[in-house]
Structures are given as structure tokens and as C-alpha cells.
Chains A and B, each alone.
Chain A
Amino acid sequence: MKHLVKLGLAAALAVASASSAALAQAPKTLDAVKARGTLSCGVGTGLAGFGQPDDKGAWTGLDVEFCRALAAAIFNDPQKVSFKPLSAKERFTALQSGEIDVLARNSTWTISRDSSLGLAFVATNYYDGQGFMVKKSLGVKSAKELKGASVCVQTGTTTELNLADFFRTNKLEYKPVVFEKNDEVVAAYDAGRCDSMTTDASGLYAERLRMKNPDENIVLPEIISKEPLAPAVRQGDSQWFTIVRWVHFAMLNAEELGVTQKNVDEMLASTNPDIKRMLGKEGDFGKGIGLENDWVVRIIKAVGNYGESYERNVGSGSRLKIDRGLNKQWSQGGLQYAPPIR
């Protein structure tokens, strides 16, 4: 019994000191990442184009490259990332608890996630919207015809909420079939358990490739929601928030200024003042956010600019072949608009 008492007191003391320590200093994520030597990045369990391990186990995708860009900016090495595959349900807890430093996992930016979940979304790296996929053989042309249909959906997503809203506002009844893991959603839909499957349109295009017969499935024209997909960090560390946000802006600015993975070395000699500032030839902008001044050079060398990363992962250079659409630069009629580096 004496031992028990000692144990109890020791535990109490440990908790007490830990709690005061936790409150005394706001955790500096950048220092923690540097000390650890790798960035811990939360990604999906496997969604083509966004985050998926290839046959050699190397992660690829738009969100994955975002983390690689961040690692390059910090360590000058895009490989210094450890990827944590997370289901929709697990992802926010993993970020809250500090298991990951950044979540780049096609997650929709919403006010509740930005407030009560204690997250901070940095910037939209993919503008998306929710759609429906059905078997061609059903002869359905519009989501409004889905009255009485069974719909497969993943839990812990905005998707399941939009789905409920859509059918309620259109006064249609439907039968939800809800799974925790995306793989089960796809498998169940493919096995004929559901008439339709719903998620972000980008996700539908990605998952269609996994079906037994991709061509037998079509994506319906309706987009029923706004899904601004954005990387997120924990609240309370504004330095880290700024770094992560500016990695996205740097990739956008590089595209706008025509700086690519190929020409970045030549561009170092450019006389354009915007390019000089961006690439660290002028000013102390990198140091200003806690990095080195050549941070953008590192990013572009590692993954290229936003347009390159887009085309390689989800656009014309990929199997998904998704049109740039809303994700074009603002100057091309899209929504991607980065504040200037100056």
C-alpha cells in the first residue's frame, strides 16, 4: 500500500507540474518541428490526386506536396516529412492533440471547425463542391431524381451534413449508409449496396478510377455545396499559422510570376523586383516569418509552383484530369489569389 501512496503522489505531482508547464509557455510549433527534424503532416488514408502512397510507399498528391513544400521551406529538404494517414473522423483530434503539426487532407474550411474545434485554416488550396456519383444504368440525370435512393457517405465529414440538408430542403427521402473509412464507402457502392455515392467532386473523380468499371459510373451535374479545402493548424501559434499560410501564397505567387521548378535558378538573376523579393534577393521576408530568405527557392525547387503541382496531381498531367476551373489564378478568371510578397 505504501507503494500505491507514493505512486499516487508522484502521479499527482507529475500532472501538476505538467499542467503548469503547458500553460506557462505557448508551444512554438516551428521550434518543435526543427528540434524533431521532421514535419508531421496529417493526410488522408488514400485519395488519388490529394494524398496517396504509390506502389513504392512514397506519398503523392496535391496535399502531400503542400507538406513537402512546407518541409522544404523549413529544412531545405522535401523528404523530411512523416505522413500520418487519418480518416475523416480522426483527423481533427490528431491535430488538436498535437500528434501532427499540420493537417493537409482535403478538409473543408467551416466556421465550426474554425471555432469550437480549435483549428485555424490557413488558405484554400483547392476550391471544391459536393457532388453525386451514380451508376449509368440507373438512368438518373439529376440529383433531384434520387428520391428513395440509398446513398453511401463517409462519417465525420461536411459531406454527410450537406447530404442531409440537400434531401431535406428538396423534400426527398433517402437512405444514408454511413461508413468510417473511405475504402468501405467505395467498396459498398461498388458492391451495389448504394445507388449513389457522395463526396467532394474531386473525390468522386478520384474514386471513380478505383471502381471495377469506372466508365459505368457518372458524376451528376449538381454541385450542392461550397467545399473550400484548406490545410489547417492548431490555434494559438500565430508564427506557425503565418508560415503555413505563406507557403501556399508563395506557390501561387511563383505561378503568377512565371517561376517554375525548371527556371527557378535562372530566375534568381531576374531584375523584376517582385521576383527578386520573392526569391530572397531583396528584403528579409523569409527571416520575417521565421525562415531563411531563400524559402521560396527551396519550395519551388522541391515541388514547383501551384499550377505545376495542380497539373501534376489532379490536372492534365494526372489520371484525374480535373479542369482548373475555380482554382485558376484570379487573373485567369479563377479564385486563387495570393497577397503580394513585399
Chain B
Amino acid sequence: MTMTTEQTPRPRSTGETPRRSLSSYIYQRETREIIFQVILVVAIVALFYMIISNATANLRARNIASGFGFLGNVAGFDISQSWISYSNVSTYGRAFMVGLWNTVILAAIGIFFTTILGFTVGIARLSSNWLIAKIATIYVEVVRNCPLLLQMFLWYFAVLKQLPEPLSRVDGVVKSTSYALPGGMLLNTRGLFTPKPEWLPGAEFILYALIVAIIGTVLMARWAKARQMATGQPFPVFLTGAAAIIGLPLLTYFIMGRPVQFEYPELGRFNLSGGFVMLPEFVAVLLGLVFYTASYIAEIVRAGIVGVSKGQKEAAMAIGLSKGQTLRLVVVPQAMRIIIPPLTSNYLNLTKNSSLGGAVGYPDMTQVAGTINNQTGQAIETILMLMGVYLTISLLTSAFMNWFNKRMALVER
């Protein structure tokens, strides 16, 4: 907000103490800037006040209800997927929360997988293997240039059509027709059914074992680093840690006499019942978001790696690090500082794009809010709530990524 065009009048050096009139204050740059700022703030506040009072007046004139009181009323509709308890006698407010959780969980899982896929493809694009590099390039070019909504439809309908119905009925004999997958999982048009763990007494020790293993691994990593600093001897932290984190809970499971049992999905009248179900709508939205966003992340990763100067890599090779070590210890940490800011905006995009899920029947927050809006007619309130939540999610994500970025920046020497 510099005002380079205005000249600040200097006090004239007439020798006598300058007596300044009111008008001379007005001609001063600082004063004027303050005045303008105040006017601007007043104008903005007035603008918002008018928009709000205009909207309420118009709503009242048209007999459209307003206010947030409706959130306590009974919603009356059902939602296909919910992480918190909900039924059609719950309130609109509760329904909104169901949608909120569906969005948050979808986004979190999506971000996790898109990061893995994006990094893999980004590195693959730089591979010296011609075929791998080409496949990665084609993936990026195709996926990035097709609208996301279309891809979700493709995942949903194209894949759904290939799947078998849950059961067939020939001459009154009911037979399961789902695809059987390893681990007792079943796949059909109604989703992916997995066995659901049931925790019996004693199962809590498995959790304790897991916690102990994680803490142990962290301590071991510290010790290994200190030792390497001191003696130069490396220690296989990753393998040992993985063995502890998987092995210790598994061992406890057997020692405690297998306190976890699995409920397997069984054939019902129309469908499998029991077990844990991943709905096809969820899978379609997730796949759409992951593949689409990963194609952008791959490009960011590639740019980040290319952006690390060649000398760094050559130096790393020269001191005898393997190819993998060079990538992991030298290139990626430096590339991260180029990668993280655009990565953040892609995470935010993924979160916001999850609002397309409603098109293939996934009850995300936008979809549920749309239903609430339609049943209550309170468009302004529901949109405000949506905006508030998306804004909060976005700000939290950027805050976290900024913190992460600062941490990563220290790695660079």
C-alpha cells in the first residue's frame, strides 16, 4: 500500500518553530493513509451490513424462513454412510456433522494415497527405464487433462458394471456370486465386504504392545542416529522397527489366546450382511480424487527433483552412497522445499474437489447440505455453513503444511 505518486510536503525551514494547521495534517501522507483506511473499513462494514439486511428483508418479503433454528429440527432422511450414529429421526445439525465427517475422512484417506501415488509417478517419470518413464508420462497427460467429474463417473459406472451381483437365485436356490478375495474379503456391486474385527477381553494388550513397539522404535532410531554420528556405523532402523511394530502385537495376539475374532459377511435375503462394507460410491470418489490429484503431484515432484542441482547428486555418488540413498538422503530432502508449497495447494484442491462426490452418490458434506437446503429452503444458512467449514479445513491444512515446510527448510544446509 505504498503511495509513491503522492509527495509528502516537507515543513518549510523558515527558522521559526513550525506551527502546523489542521490542513497541513491532512496533507501529510500518514494521516491520509489512515483516513483512507478508516473510510475503506467503514465502507466494507456498511457493504456487509447492507447485504445482510437486504437479504433478510427480501427473505422475509418472500416468506422464506431464515435463521439457524432449523438445525435442531428432525431431518427425516437417511444417509448411506455415517461414522457417527445417525438415523432419520436425528436433527439437521447432526446430518450436517455426518456429511462433515464423511468429507474429512475421505479427504484424509485421499491425501494419504495421492501422496504415495504422486511421489511414485513423479519419480518414475525421471526413471532411466524408458518404459517406466513413458507409462508415467502417459498417465500424467491423460489423467490431468480429463475433467475429474468424468473420471468419477468412469470409476463408478464402468467399474460397477463389471462387478457381479451379490447373489443369484436359480430355481429358488440362492448362491453367492461375489468375487472372493484373499483374507475373506468379498467384492460385488454393493461394495467391498471385509471381515469386521470384534474385540474380546484381553484385546487391549495388543494395543499396548503396539504403543510399546512404536515408542521403542522411536528411541531406537534416536540411538542409531547418535551412534552413526559418533562412530559412522549405520543401523537397519527401518527393518528392525517394522519387525517390532508388526511382530510385537502379533506375538501378544497369540499369547493372549487370540482375543480378536472376525465377523465374516454372510449371505442375506438381498445382499451380504455383517462385516465391514466399503461402499462403491466411496471407492469411486476416492479413486477419482487420488488418481486425478496424483497426476498434479507427480509433476510437482518431478519439478522439485529436477530443481535440485546436479552437483548435489554427483557429490553424493562420489562419497559412495547408493542410488537409493542418494535419492532418499540427498535429493528428496532438498526437493521437498520446492515441493511442499504447491503440494499444499493440491491437498486443498483434493479436499474441495471431494464435493463432487455427491454426483456418484457419496454423501459428502456438500451433498448432505444440499439435501438440507432443499428440505428446509434455507440456502443462505447452509451455504454459509459450508463455506465456514471448507475455509476452516483449508486454513488448518495450510497451517500444518507451513509448519512442516519450516521444519523441512531446516534440513537444507
In the complex the two chains form, is A193's CB within 8 Å of B370's CB?
Answer: no
- A216: interface (CB < 8 Å): no
Closest residue of B by beta carbon distance from A168: B88
Across the interface, do A164 and B78 meet the contact criterion of CB distance under 8 Å? yes
Q: Which of B35-43, B203-211, B395-403 participates in binding chain A?
A: B35-43
Q: Are B89 and A112 in contact (CB under 8 A)?
A: no
Q: State which of A115, A148, A165, A178 has its C-beta within 8 Å of the C-beta of B79.
A: A178
Q: Bound complex: CA of A235 vs CA of B64, how far in Å?
A: 9
For residue A4, which residues in chain B have a CB less than 8 angstroms away from its CB? 40
Nearest chain A CB to B352's CB is how many angstroms away?
A: 17
Contact of B190 among A5, A18, A165, A193 (CB under 8 A): A193
Q: Contact check, A177 vs B361: say whether CB atoms are below 8 A apart.
A: yes
Q: Are the C-beta atoms of A161 and B76 separated by less than 8 Å? A: yes
- Is residue A179 within 8 Å, beta carbon to beta carbon, of the partner chain? yes
**Total B residues in contact with A, Cβ cutoff 8 Å:** 60
A193 to B164, CA, bound (A): 10
Fill in one digit per residue for A5-42: 1 if any B CB lies within 8 Å of its CB, else 0.
10011011001101100110010000000000000000
Residues of B within 8 A of A139 (CB): 169
Residues from chain A with a CB closer than 8 A to the CB of B161 are 191
> Is B344 at the interface (CB under 8 A from chain A)?
no
Write out, one digit per residue, whether chain B residues 55-67 have a CB within 8 A of any chain A CB (1) or not (0): 0011101111100
A176-B80 contact in complex given A12-B47, A117-B64, C-beta closer than 8 Å: yes
Task: Flag if B54 contacts A19 (CB, 8 Å).
Answer: yes
Are A191 and B157 in contact, CB atoms less than 8 angstroms apart?
yes
Stretch at the interface among A125-133, A149-157, A319-327, A328-336: A149-157
- Can you name the residue of chain A whose Cβ is closest to the Cβ of B58? A22
Min C-beta distance of A41 to chain B, whole Å: 19
B64 in contact with A1 (CB, 8 Å): no
Q: Is the CB of A180 within 8 A of B271?
A: no
User: Binary interface profile of A, 135-162, with partner B (CB < 8 Å = 1, else 0)?
Assistant: 0011100000011111000011000110
Neighbouring A residues of B237 by C-beta, 8 Å: none
The verdict on A210 contacting chain B, using a C-beta distance below 8 Å, is: no
- Given A5-B40, A8-B40, A92-B377, A180–B80 Cβ distance below 8 Å? no
Q: Are B43 and A8 in contact (CB under 8 A)?
A: yes
Which residue in B36, B50, B157, B374 is a CB contact (below 8 Å) of A88? B374
The minimal Cβ–Cβ distance linking B278 to chain A, given in whole angstroms, is: 13
CA distance A88 to B373 in the complex (A): 12
A178 to B370, CA, bound (A): 12
Confirm or deny: A175 has a beta carbon within 8 angstroms of a beta carbon on chain B. yes
Q: Name A residues whose Cβ lies closer than 8 Å to a Cβ of B.
A: 1-2, 4-5, 8-9, 11-12, 15-16, 18-19, 22-23, 26, 88-89, 92-93, 96, 112-113, 115-118, 137-139, 146-150, 155-156, 160-161, 163-165, 168, 175-181, 184, 187-188, 191-193, 195, 234-236
Pairs A–B under 8 Å by Cβ, sample size 10 = A1-B3, A12-B50, A19-B54, A139-B169, A155-B77, A160-B371, A176-B77, A177-B80, A191-B161, A192-B163
